[in-house]
Structure 1
Amino acid sequence: MENFTEIQEVNNTFGTWIEHSIQYKVVSSLLVFAICAFGLIGNVMVILVVLTTKHMRTPTNCYLVSLAVADLMVLTAAGLPCITESIFESWVFGHYGCLCITYFQYLGINASSCSITAFTIERYIAICHPIKAQFLCTLSRAKKIILCVWAFTSIYCLMWFYLSSVQELKYDNVTILTCGYKVSRRSYLPIYFIDFGIFFVLPLLLSAILYGLIARILFMNPLPSDHKNKNGHCKNSRHSTSTATSRRQVTKMLAVVVILFAMLWMPYRTLVVVNSFLERAYVDTWFVFFCRSCIYLNSAINPLIYNAMSQKFRAAFRKICHCAQKRSQRPAAHSVALTYSVVKDTSVIESTDHFTTEMEELTVTEDLLPEKTIMHKENTCRL
């Protein structure tokens, strides 16, 4: 029992064994499954939207794809095994499953933190240094940075293959398997605090500073007003106003992602830091479950933020769902449909419910028409 108590107090993210009640098993399993299912669908849609829609392939969205991949890794390597742990109260994936799952847990967590830091720096350069952004904030450079991020985190997390192991615990003449750490609690603390500083404290401090500078440039300057020349024509005022509004919208969305990352990771980070200074760790079942659920929710909520705060993402999500519904309901004989639009961006069409309703009544299918048919621009400026 002394050995069991010592192992139970190890600050293990997902490997502490506690006897669970039936109520806990039902609530935790259903809630974690719902969060993971919602997060898996949402993050997969984010990846599909950016990869399949040409105008969505921007440097910022590339970082969001990297974040979505990292969140998928967290949900599959941390969330889903938590369900089996709650139900069976024992590790069921074996020794190599323990090594790989622990590795991918930390890889997803650290890669998501680095992706957030990367798009924060990209936003700062794009807004505060627009001249440098022309050759620094490019799509090719964003892809190279993402490759470096994943290469660094993949190499950094290799240590968990040597620090993780399956442990056998004897409890009331029953053998319980847990996926835990080989090292003692004292040996683990320096590793944790280095990880805590590099992938949590440093990104948040950097994000706070950079978003403060962005706010000073972006939100304290008024939007450009409509100016006219002597002939009464507009001087690109609509374009400049639209650009400034779009920049504010994207910056607000990314700032919300960073804030939620800090808030939802704070309970677990605080718990581990506090337990580091206690003689006997605080491992209340429901509070530990709350801390874990916040981590899973952080990996699942980002697509919802994109849908709520970005018109382009919202339109692209609708387009994917609409196309999937059309394919499932498409008859055997294909009818020829005609359409005409003077709107430049298809997102405007998708975001207008009235126009979408009319299109559906006419049984118009966008995928039967060339892309250029939908992308005309109204160049006149009316007074």
Structure 2
Amino acid sequence: MKNFTSANNTLAPWTDHTVEYKVISALLVLIICALGMVGNVMVILVVLTTKHMRTPTNCYLVSLAVADLIVLTAAGLPSVADSVYGSWMFGHAGCLGITYFQYLGINASSCSITAFTVERYIAICHPIKAQSLCTYARAKRIILAVWLFTSLYCVMWFYLSDTEEIVYKDVTVVTCAYRVSRKLYMPIYFFDFGVFFVLPLALATILYGLIARILFLNAIPKQNVKNGQHGIGIKHSTQCSSTTAASRRQVIKMLAVVVILFALLWMPYRTLVVVNSFIQEAYLDTWFLLFCRICVYLNSAINPVIYNAMSQKFRAAFRRLCICSSKPQMKQAAYSVALTYSTVKETSMIESTEHFPTEIDDLSDAPNGLREELTPS
């Protein structure tokens, strides 16, 4: 068992890599890492610089973007050097630090996905509790706790990693490997696998099923004429209710796609390591190992693409960030946001009196802005 960066190189001798493999692997990883780093930086800037984008859900997406940046930097870029030079280039300190940040990014991304899944479940299925639990301030505290926990948990990799020199065909190759035996490492790996992969996916499957039952299966109740309400007010309220429900469904779809791709793109690498842990002759096909690594890097690079494809608000914010929109445009956007929030707030108050709890979630973060600004495309 070797660390993630050198998994496909120390397990299969570097000196056997062809020029074709080196060129293809280096180009693919560089392209994916470059696009992923730009995309994740833009996600962070969009949320931090756009006031109405600072919602609890987007706060967790920023945490996920930071984790993905760490994965691309600590796992993706060093693998390019491995492919080109065929040996570990970063010394003993680099081995310890890079291994630590690899697992920090991987585990923090998993925890961030779990956090926004739980947050969405509370907001949709328990809207009364969400008014006090699903706030921007609380989201920041949870993210701080997530990063503190994962930072401390990953400290063990400073003691489990080390450089090693291997002589292959009279050539000395330096590797960044684990200093403990395979037998001692397996319990650590399977604990990590269960806590940061199996458990988050199982929890996400259950919670998104409960959310879907509320948003997609329950019909929106018809508005009745009560207390002398005018017909035009009822029509306006119904339209706002439909818009809010559609917006929420679109947000849930986007987050569910993030979780599904996380599961699918990590599955080849996770499965390979599990299988190789039990068989005597490990499966180490060089091209399949490259495929596994590419899937992991894609998982860290693809989320900004998902946000652009499935969220009109993120698309508009990305566009404004790219073209540096003028101040009048920003004022117009702010006015639109205020108007939208006022409408949603009015609708939510009406619906709460009608005992339709799934719609009052938009008030849960009222002091910090509109609860969800991700309107459907």
Equivalence for 2:107: 110
Unaligned runs of 5+ in 1: 1-9, 327-363
> Are 1:58 and 2:20 counterparts?
no
Q: Is the 8 A contact 1:226 1:238 kept in 2?
A: no
Q: CA deviation at 1:224?
A: 5.4
Q: Is the 8 A contact 1:165 1:182 kept in 2?
A: yes
Unaligned runs of 5+ in 2: 344-377
TM-score by length of structure 1 reads 0.83
**Partner amino acid for 1:245?**
A
Pick aligned residue for 1:38 from 16, 35, 38: 35
* Structure with more contact order per residue of length (Cα contacts < 8 Å, sep ≥ 6): 2
Equivalence for 1:248: 249
> Please, what is the CA RMSD of the aligned residues?
2.0
Equivalence for 1:282: 283
Equivalence for 2:231: 232
Partners of 1:227 and 1:21 in 2: how far apart?
Answer: 72
Q: CA deviation at 1:154?
A: 0.2
Q: CA deviation at 1:218?
A: 1.0
Pick aligned residue for 1:85 from 67, 82, 87: 82
Q: Is the 8 A contact 1:249 1:309 kept in 2?
A: yes
Partners of 2:160 and 2:213 in 1: how far apart?
Answer: 45
After superposition, the Cα gap between the structure-2 partners of 1:62 and 1:284, relative to the gap in structure 1 and judged at 3 Å, is same
Partners of 2:338 and 2:155 in 1: how far apart?
Answer: 51
Q: Deviations over 1:265-300 (max 9, x none)?
A: 000000000000111211110000000000000000
> Are 1:293 and 2:294 counterparts?
yes
Q: CA deviation at 1:133?
A: 0.4
Partners of 1:54 and 1:269 in 2: how far apart?
Answer: 38
Q: CA deviation at 1:241?
A: 1.4
Equivalence for 2:189: 192
After superposition, the Cα gap between the structure-2 partners of 1:53 and 1:369, relative to the gap in structure 1 and judged at 3 Å, is closer
Query: Which is richer in helix?
Result: 2
Q: CA deviation at 1:86?
A: 0.2
Q: Deviations over 1:222-251 (max 9, x none)?
A: 245577777431232222212111110100
Partners of 1:227 and 1:238 in 2: how far apart?
Answer: 14
Pick aligned residue for 1:12 from 3, 6, 23: 3
Q: Is the 8 A contact 1:11 1:272 kept in 2?
A: no
TM-score by length of structure 2 reads 0.84
Which secondary structure state, in structure 2, belongs to the residue aligned with residue 179 of structure 1? strand
What are the equivalent positions in structure 2 for 1:199-278 lying under 5 Å apart? 199-223=196-220, 231-235=230-234, 236-278=237-279
What are the equivalent positions in structure 2 for 1:120-131 lying under 5 Å apart? 120-131=117-128
Which secondary structure state, in structure 1, belongs to the residue aligned with residue 232 of structure 2? coil
Determine what percentage of the aligned residue pairs are the same residue.
Answer: 67
Q: CA deviation at 1:370?
A: 8.0
Equivalence for 1:3: none
Number of equivalenced pairs: 332
Q: CA deviation at 1:376?
A: 6.8
Q: CA deviation at 1:11?
A: 4.4
Equivalence for 1:150: 147
Partners of 1:56 and 1:222 in 2: how far apart?
Answer: 29
